[in-house]
Amino acid sequence: MVLMRAVLDAAFAARRKAAVSRCPARAMGVFAVATGGCEGCAVELAALRGGAWGLEGTGVVWVDAPQDADILLVVGVLTRTMAPVLERAWHAMAGPKALVALGDCAIDGGPFGETYATLGGLEGRAVTDARIPGCPPEPEAIRDILARLVT
């Protein structure tokens, strides 16, 4: 058993070393808030989180609370009921922090626009540090923008 462990450790040591060298000194925590819409962007985000896209090597980690986040990722059109939730999440984050709009709905409202139930997108309401256009954007685009924010 000890011999098998030594062989496996030796075989995977180079792979672990390469993965660690690609990661920045400090990982950036991302907190995603789905604010409404068709959930197409949320599906692509879930695919990205699945592990097939190599996100672990970019220094991006997903966090479960805004207090642990460096990046607030807004997914979907901003509904009137989710606006206060989004604002509370933003204020719970410590600085420095970044705001990212994921998808056309989060950017400018997409096909929803401003109605009795929706406020549209973040455009004109908040200054975003990055925008990831698309309906929905592909996981590669999401990964590349988040990796750019980390470096």
CATH of the domain at 132: 3.40.50.12280
The confidence score (pLDDT) of residue 150 equals 85
Residue 41: inside a domain:
yes
Confidence of residue 25 (pLDDT cuts 50, 70, 90): low
d(CA 44, CA 102): 10
CA distance 119 to 35: 11
pLDDT at res. 82: 96
Say if 118 falls within a structural domain: yes
Domain-located, residue 12: no
Tell me if 139 sits within 8 A of 48, measured CB to CB: yes
Render pLDDT for 27-51 as a digit per residue (tens, 0 to 9): 899 999 999 989 999 999 999 988 7
Domain contains 94: yes
pLDDT in tens, 80-128: 999 999 999 999 999 899 999 999 999 999 999 899 999 999 998 999 9
Q: Is residue 5 scored above 70 in pLDDT?
A: no
User: What whole-number distance in Å separates Cα of residue 151 and Cα of residue 135?
Assistant: 26
- Mean pLDDT for the chain overall: 85
pLDDT of residue 102: 97
Position 136 in a domain: yes
Q: How many domains does the chain have?
A: 1
Predicted confidence (pLDDT) at residue 20 exceeds the cutoff of 50: no
pLDDT of residue 51: 74
Contact in structure between 115 and 77 (CB atoms under 8 Å): no
- Report helix, strand or coil for 60: strand
- Cα distances (angstroms) measured from residue 131 to each of 29, 57, 100: 18, 22, 6
